[in-house]
Amino acid sequence: MTNHSTNNSPYDCLIIGAGAAGLLCASLLGKKGVKVLLIEHTKKIGAKILISGGGRCNFTNMDAGPSNYISSNPHYMKSAMKRYTPWDFIDLLSAHGLTYNEKKLGQLFCDQGSKAVVEALIKECEEAAVEIAVDCSIHSIEHQEGYTLVTKEGRSFQSNQLVIATGGLSIPKMGATGFAYDVARQFNIPVTKTEPALVPLTFTSDDLTFMKELTGVSIDSLVTVGTTSFRENILFTHRGISGPAILQISSFWSLGRPIHIDLHPSGSLKEALINARQTRPKQQLATFLSDFFPARFAKAFTEKYLENIPLTQISNKKLEGFLEIIHHWTLTPNGSEGYRTAEVTKGGVDPNALSSKTMAALTQPGLYFIGECVDVTGWLGGYNFQWAWASAAAAAESI
């Protein structure tokens, strides 16, 4: 890594953003003999890779396919993802002696951790003679015959090819900016509405008081918004609800819409409850429920929605009503935790204005957008990195 000294000789390609997409694109280009300068405005390279997957980097998903992405052009990612598959990134890691394991649902994690993934990518860049300028902020971009980038300190870099890999808006304190969207607008390329996604949902008043008391409790649930459902854990927090099922559904949720939660998706509790009412009539409702849920949740949920009374005292009508809440718990979030904690940004540079083969802007020669800044948002579980790698490889192939 170099803190770049003034060098006015033209590069074959300038890449802005040394995150997942920028690093891979730079190394693949360098290996083709392309002279690349990779520019990063923070002092850290691959910061989001470092914190990903709780430090273990869920670097891909073996089952990644177009149906795992939300985009204003649902076909856009197909070509790039066919050409750069999870196996291609596994090969890259293997070449650095790194190994992986599947946690669940096709999610692959690096055994040696996120830092090893970043080190492998930096090594790839070094071997490919990529120059990396960290702590380098771009003040303006001019386009005449090629692109001229002027830094805040007044240095300038020229190239005919410019790749924007600056990611989305999530976690601004780590260096996230809307730079890619500003560049797109500068060149009249449309940007779709951006929103925090894969983000915990928040609640007001009554619901929040209940959730706060259960902070740390997690329950296997089926969470639905409209016609989209995810079955994974939900996790109560002091701000509302998080956990994989909630993060997933947040990408499909919008303000004002209710979410529906089946708290016992593996089957109806009706038979067990009727049976227990006959065989253990004196058993308290919360005690019965604690066979199926964490005891803290069983007690709080019973007290909120019915009463902690012996099973024999529960009428059929009350029992039906209570089961209805367990299987169709309906809540209306008042918002989300926003970009402060969102894993990704939904929306971005409009893929309809880009080539799905090369990631180049259709109306602006030599300008490319890759990774999260494009309106292609993956589910939770390694899909977002797979898009970053695939879009980076597609651009590198065509430059």
Indicate whether 223 belongs to the interface with ligand FDA (CB under 6 A): no
Nearest-10 Cα torsion for 324, 328, 332, 336: 140
Q: How far is the CB of 334 from ligand FDA (least distance, A)?
A: 23
Give the residue carrying structure tokens 């918002």: 335
Token pair of 179 as six digits: 């730079």
Q: How far is the CB of 278 from ligand FDA (least distance, A)?
A: 48
Indicate whether 132 belongs to the interface with ligand FDA (CB under 6 A): no
C-alpha–C-alpha distance, residues 371 and 387, integer Å: 6
Q: How far is the CB of 41 from ligand FDA (least distance, A)?
A: 3
Q: How far is the CB of 182 from ligand FDA (least distance, A)?
A: 8
Indicate whether 246 belongs to the interface with ligand FDA (CB under 6 A): no
Relative to beta strand 107-110, strand 100-102 is: antiparallel
Q: How far is the CB of 110 from ligand FDA (least distance, A)?
A: 10
Distance of alpha carbon 74 from its chain centroid, rounded? Answer: 17
Q: Give the binding range for ligand FDA (CB under 6 A) out of 3-11, 151-159, 167-175, 332-340.
A: 167-175
Token pair of 57 as six digits: 């980097």
Site for ligand FDA in 376-395 (CB under 6 A): 382-385, 388
Could you tell me if 121 and 46 are in contact, meaning their C-beta atoms sit under 8 angstroms apart? Answer: yes
Could you tell me if 40 and 133 are in contact, meaning their C-beta atoms sit under 8 angstroms apart? Answer: yes
Find the residue with minimal CB distance to ligand FDA: 19
The 8-class DSSP code of residue 157 comes to E
Provide the 10 A C-beta neighbour count for residue 380. 24
Indicate whether 171 belongs to the interface with ligand FDA (CB under 6 A): yes
Indicate whether 239 belongs to the interface with ligand FDA (CB under 6 A): no
Which one of residues 167, 200, 347, 348 is an interface residue with ligand FDA (CB under 6 A)? 167
C-alpha–C-alpha distance, residues 33 and 396, integer Å: 11
C-alpha–C-alpha distance, residues 70 and 144, integer Å: 35
Indicate whether 179 belongs to the interface with ligand FDA (CB under 6 A): yes
Site for ligand FDA in 112-131 (CB under 6 A): none
Indicate whether 243 belongs to the interface with ligand FDA (CB under 6 A): no
Q: Which of 313/398 has CB closer to ligand FDA?
A: 398
Indicate whether 355 belongs to the interface with ligand FDA (CB under 6 A): no
Indicate whether 237 belongs to the interface with ligand FDA (CB under 6 A): no
Contacts of 317 (CB under 8 A, 6+ apart): none
Main-chain dihedrals φ then ψ at residue 355, nearest 5 degrees: -85, 130
Q: How far is the CB of 68 from ligand FDA (least distance, A)?
A: 11
Nearest to 383 by CA among 60, 23, 73, 76: 60
Q: Which of 19/240 has CB closer to ligand FDA?
A: 19
Q: Give the binding range for ligand FDA (CB under 6 A) out of 30-38, 166-174, 291-299, 348-356.
A: 166-174
Could you tell me if 193 and 347 are in contact, meaning their C-beta atoms sit under 8 angstroms apart? Answer: yes
Site for ligand FDA in 1-20 (CB under 6 A): 16-20
Distance of alpha carbon 61 from its chain centroid, rounded? Answer: 12
| Residues binding ligand FDA (CB under 6 A) | 16-22, 39-42, 47-48, 51-53, 57-58, 137-138, 165-167, 170-171, 175, 177, 179, 343-344, 371-372, 382-385, 388
